[in-house]
Chain A
Amino acid sequence: MKKFINAVEDVENEMLEGMCDAYPDKVERLEGTDVIVRKQKKEGKVAIISGGGSGHEPSHAGFVGKGMLDAAVPGAIYTSPAPDQILEAINAADAGKGVLMVVKNYSGDVMNFEMAADMADDIEVEEVITNDDVAVDNKEDRRGVAGTIFVHKIAGAKAEAGASLAEVKAVAEKVIANTRTMGAALKPSTIPAAGKPGFELADDEMEIGIGIHGEPGISREPLKPANDIVDELLSHILGDDVDYSGSEVAVMVNGSGATPLMELYLMNKRVHDVLTEKGIKVAKTFVGNIMTSIDMAGASISLLKLDDEMKELLNAPADTIAFTQD
């Protein structure tokens, strides 16, 4: 294992410190905690918090800032944060109009966030659970993956505009209902503390339906050309229960950490070509490392079916480490 790290047990802490050192005008660390909050708190608006295991940078701390999240709670690598940390985030982020927690659908995340919400006295806390991953048949089991960031952006913009907690939650639910994602991996990730890859893939194999924690996916297949992989992922997304025909979409081609932009752009060409051929209009595209898995070589495609409200909110200003828009 070759990584730029010091002691394995210090990785998460040193990473957070380095992030805050790099962007002191945008974020700060809540003293005595692992919680990352906006540098300039805006009072009188609904607060949005999110989080989950570390190892997905820039998610989620990279999206703390104007127009997106008010706080992010990073746990240990690939490990949901504990309720006491989440409660710190709820208390710090609360700006008088309630808190919306954006929680990815994993047993640990759901348990810990819900426990924290139970412990929050005097603050109205609501929750939405993201489950955009179509690789899992049973909807209740579907994982929250890269499409979660669409929620951060759109619900974030709604909150920034002064909407109520109910309105912010409603638009978040709308994004969740209209986002579908699927990914594939070429090489597994290696957690520093484990010292070896999370699973094994032969040189000519890929893992379809990969999750974001390096956990093995749904099926293992022979490696094929990028166009064929994109076609397979898109067929699952388009064949799921969101009807994209004739619609306008936002596209996200997300890298897992070790896949170069070169390949993500290349895959995006196929995404655009296929959608155009099918009469689906691409209103906006996001390409890059958005929700990674440390050093996994992989990518996921997300499609968000837009309406006027979501499109407007997607285009609203944002100022975060990983995403800035006027």
Chain B
Amino acid sequence: MAATKEDVLKFIEEFDKRIEEHHQELTDLDQAIGDGDHGINMNRGMKAVMEKIPGVQDKTITDIVKTVGMTLMSKVGGASGPLYGMAFVKASAKAKGKEELSPEDISEMIGAAIASIEKAGKSTTGEKTMLDAICPAKEAYDKAIADGKSVADAFADAEDAAWKGVEYTKGIIATKGRARYLGERSIGHQDPGATSISYLIQSARAVAEAK
């Protein structure tokens, strides 16, 4: 058993803390290759999520995660709203009927999130987006679990892979989102979406390690 409902709630709280702590950084990154509002938008979205949590914390894991998704979709706006929002909504479906999540359940949820982002964003890895962090993160997580590592270690590997993905985004040209208008000038800048989703994985790691 990898995660209880309490763990899921803690994970959301940890993400909110990190978004608040890093929202200026995310905004600065977005100013370099976007329109300078990623941190602002994600912060607004997560504040709205935290307001909704007390009303759903006694419901199922599916309901809680779905609420996160619907709230982000409604409050974040831009491309990040549908991308993050739908990702959480699709992930929530994988937790249906479960009161606890196994390591495999978590993997499926991450997989559903990735599929949702790929579909909504019409994108794949190598395009300087959040996928360049979360896809390698899932690969690392799955490999760790298959190797018999603990969930905490699996998330540690996942986070390392995510940050490597963020570093990778620095060197490539953007073909999605606002950064793509910059052409070659987007090279040398790390992607804000890849950065924020790495903080999401870091939040999962923090909860797993604290258990």
Contacts and interface: CB of A to CB of B under 8 A. Distances in A.
23 contacts: A76-B37, A76-B40, A78-B35, A79-B77, A80-B78, A80-B79, A81-B77, A82-B76, A82-B77, A83-B74, A111-B83, A112-B82, A136-B181, A191-B35, A191-B37, A194-B37, A198-B31, A199-B31, A211-B178, A214-B36, A215-B35, A215-B178, A216-B181
A84 B76 CA distance: 12
5 closest A-B pairs (Cβ-Cβ)? Answer: A108-B79, A79-B77, A108-B78, A213-B35, A107-B79
Given A111-B120, A193-B37, A214-B36, A80 B81 contact: yes
Contact of A106 (B27, B83, B86, B178): B178
B131 interface: no
B183 A79 contact: no
B82 A111 contact: yes
Chain B interface residue count: which class?
Answer: 20 to 34
A9 B79 CA distance: 20
Contacts of B176: 107
Interface in A200-225: 209, 211, 213-218
Nearest to A217: B181
B98 interface: no
Interface string B169-185: 00000001110111101
Considering residues B36, B37, B44, B185, which has the most beta carbons from chain A within 10 angstroms of its beta carbon?
Answer: B36
Interface in B38-89: 40-41, 44, 73-83, 86
Nearest to B185: A216
A84 B40 CA distance: 20
Interface residues of A, number: 35
Interface of A: 9, 53, 75-84, 106-108, 111-112, 115, 135-136, 141, 143, 191, 193-194, 198-199, 209, 211, 213-218
B181 A194 contact: no
Q: What's the dominant secondary structure at chain B's contact region?
A: helix
B82 A108 contact: yes
Contact of A191 (B36, B44, B82, B121): B36
A213 to B, nearest CB: 4
Given A76-B37, A79-B76, 9 more contacts: A53-B78, A79-B41, A82-B73, A82-B77, A112-B81, A194-B36, A198-B36, A213-B35, A215-B181
Given A111-B82, A111-B120, A198-B36, A76 B41 contact: yes
Nearest to A55: B35
A194 B31 contact: yes
B37 A77 contact: yes
B34 A83 contact: no
Contact of B81 (A78, A82, A194): A82
A276 to B, nearest CB: 32
A143 B177 CA distance: 11
Contacts of A80: 77-79, 81
A214 B73 contact: no
A63 B81 CA distance: 26
B79 A111 contact: yes
Contacts of A84: 73-74
B175 to A, nearest CB: 8
B119 to A, nearest CB: 10
Nearest to A193: B40
A80 B178 CA distance: 12
Contact of B78 (A9, A75, A136, A211): A75
